[in-house]
Chain A
Amino acid sequence: MLDVLHSLLFSTLDAAPALIFAALGAVLSERAGVIAVGMEGMMRVGAFCAAVAALTMPTPLAVVMGMLAGAALAGVHGFLSIRWRSDQVVSGIALNLVALAGGTFLLESLYGPNGTPPIQQLTRWNIPGLSSVPVLGALSGHSAPTYLALLLPFAFQGLLTRTPLGLRLRAVGDKPQAVATLGLSVPGLRWGAVLGSGLLAGLGGAVLSTAVLDRFEQHTPAGLGFMALAAMVFGRWTPVGAFLAATFFAFGNALRIGLVSSAPGLVELIPQGVLLALPYLLTLVVLTLQGQRSSAPAALGTPYEQESR
């Protein structure tokens, strides 16, 4: 029994970071008032660039390249939606389509349909002494992003609630005009948030190809960017909430995979498809019960127009 729990926890901690980073990125962007539909595309670009970079450079550096790639795509999003006040959803969807097709095209042209060549995965850290403890031992043996993913949400929550910058970010997502009348730059704050969300999404993608797998595969990230949105909504647009939701979703997934192999009989009763749909169904239920306006940033999706002429 403990073994089962141990392995469940272990695989959750392996799989969750990508989702957690992307969900945090989505929270960052949306709290500043910019809709984050483009997470999937940014993750894909991050995953691809990290995998390609890792062929020629140390993997940790490649992860940084992946993050920068995500931020570059976010830069396009910012250029269109902040600088030119384009519709944020259109811009995000366009980036998703470009990343989807562009990733496939480059992958197939450069490496063929089976993904990039394998790369050196990120080093897994064994925490001495911990690995032998039952259940808790699952904490040991992961790569650096896992530990970062456990700490970052709390740091981010602290940033949002305890620092001047966080206060301004929250304000700019709820009432940008108020921020502007105090002489602060609305575009500046939003640019920062969007680029930050690109870094985080890129990191999430990079983790997929350097820690979870050892290459970029055709379908990466296979909808994780959208699940990150679900985690953000489910976590009521807070970093820790999104973290918990993402972890919960990842745990559910690990449980499902575990059940398929260990208890096929149970899968007959509760079909896999239903379990797969659960994160999204739960998010819909939460939205239905509370209505959306209760926790979404008030100015979400509204381009800010400078008042002065």
Chain B
Amino acid sequence: MPERVRQMLPSVLSVLLALGVCWALIALTMEPGTATDAYLQMLWGGIGNWPAYLDGAAATVITRPLGESAMKAAILTLTGLSVAVAFKVGLFNIGAQGQMLLGALAAAVVGAQVSLPGVLHVPAALLGAALAGAAWAGIAGLLRIYRGVHEVISTIMLNWVALSLVDNWLVVGPLRGAAEGGQSITGTAEIQATAVLPRLLGEGSRLNLGFPLALVAALAVWVWLTRTRSGFETRAVGLGAEAARAAGIPVARRMGMAMALAGAMAGLAGAVLVLGTEGRYPGTLGAPYGFDGIAIALIGNNHPLGATVSALFFGVLRAGGTRMQLLGVHKSFPELIQGLALLFVAGRMVWLALLRRRNVAPAASAEVPRA
């Protein structure tokens, strides 16, 4: 399928170029050997140290790194999906970060303060998170539909509102966890054992239910977009809103629904973080996975499965990044690779001009809705 390959090519080349540029950066600040070693460390730290395993080391040298990668990839997949789903209907969701914070908070509250049997508790917490994220994204959707407020501006504002309200008020105020054993803690109370996402490989790895959940979500979104009537309507609205309207498609409803779904995905990302890794809403959620989602989605060509692949790749890099520190390379390095890759993807038109294939040249960045 040459067309599909051509679609993917700019992303793949961008990632490769970013890897190359970053390698050169370490090579220049340190020395070439270190750069190569660091990349190897990043690889072993991400997919497991296979050479060591084959030399007879315990299986945990494989399972542990893979578990870490999977956890990061799960969250990145969900926030990436959040951005990609909104893109499909023609909206640019910069607000995955805020939606994720609210989802995380909802999961922490349901996980800690509601008592349910194990089979129900996790689903309930996930549902709460999805609803919270959907509601937060829904505000931006409604503002766009009824007041014409551009979603880029409104979601940026909503991010900061969420951050301020959650991190600086709710988590340190009304929802702050009670002191345990005489020590006051930051963040909300520990979630109950029934709400913890079950680990899949026991003690050998922190791999938990969040990873399959994210993959299932990606698959479901893909199936929905490509196989169902309403998914088709959503794509039609994103690619040609006026033609969709003339075809009798309820444009406003599709926009609202897609935005809510986007928020739900980001909310789930927060839930996976809280129920799987943190165990509660910590003092601050810190990591900007919601913003990463923008990069993940765009590098993945706004395709649900493309976003998943890009999330898996960067999940591996992220997990492996911690290993680079052994060589004095900071763990933020994979994020730099990711940022540069997005920058190169933004130069999609440059790639296409370089690749110069006549039938690709038109349609200025068709995958991105006009702001």
Contacts and interface: CB of A to CB of B under 8 A. Distances in A.
A251 interface: no
Interface in B220-251: none
Interface size class of A (residues with CB under 8 A): 35 or more
Interface stretch (B56-64, B68-76, B344-352): B344-352
Interface string A237-280: 00000000000000000000000000000000001111011011
Interface in A69-128: 76, 80, 84-91, 93-102, 104-105, 108-110
A64 B339 CA distance: 26
Interface in B337-371: 338-340, 342-343, 345-350, 353, 364-365, 368, 370-371
A284 interface: yes
Given A109-B328, A284-B154, A293-B148, A100 B339 contact: yes
A223 interface: yes
A101 B333 CA distance: 7
Contacts of A91: 343, 346
Contacts of A93: 94, 291, 294-295, 342
Contacts of A134: none
B157 A284 contact: yes
Given A272-B168, A291-B148, A94 B342 contact: yes
A94 to B, nearest CB: 4
Contacts of B345: 90, 94
B365 A87 contact: yes
What range describes how many residues of B lie at the interface? 35 or more
Nearest to B22: A105
B348 A98 contact: no
A301 interface: yes
B329 interface: yes
B102 to A, nearest CB: 13
Contacts of B148: 291-293
Contacts of B143: 284, 287-288
A87 B168 CA distance: 34
The prevalent SS among residues of B at the interface is helix
A302 interface: yes
Nearest to A84: B349
A94 B342 CA distance: 6
B164 A280 contact: yes
Contact of B154 (A108, A277, A287, A302): A287
Contact of B335 (A84, A90, A101, A293): A101
A97 B147 contact: no
A292 B147 contact: yes
A226 B160 contact: yes
Contacts of B166: 273
Interface of A: 35, 37, 76, 80, 84-91, 93-102, 104-105, 108-110, 223, 226-227, 229-230, 233, 271-274, 276-277, 279-281, 283-284, 287-288, 291-293, 296, 300-303, 305
Given A86-B349, A87-B365, A276-B168, 11 more contacts: A90-B365, A90-B368, A93-B295, A98-B343, A102-B336, A109-B329, A271-B173, A280-B158, A281-B157, A288-B149, A292-B153
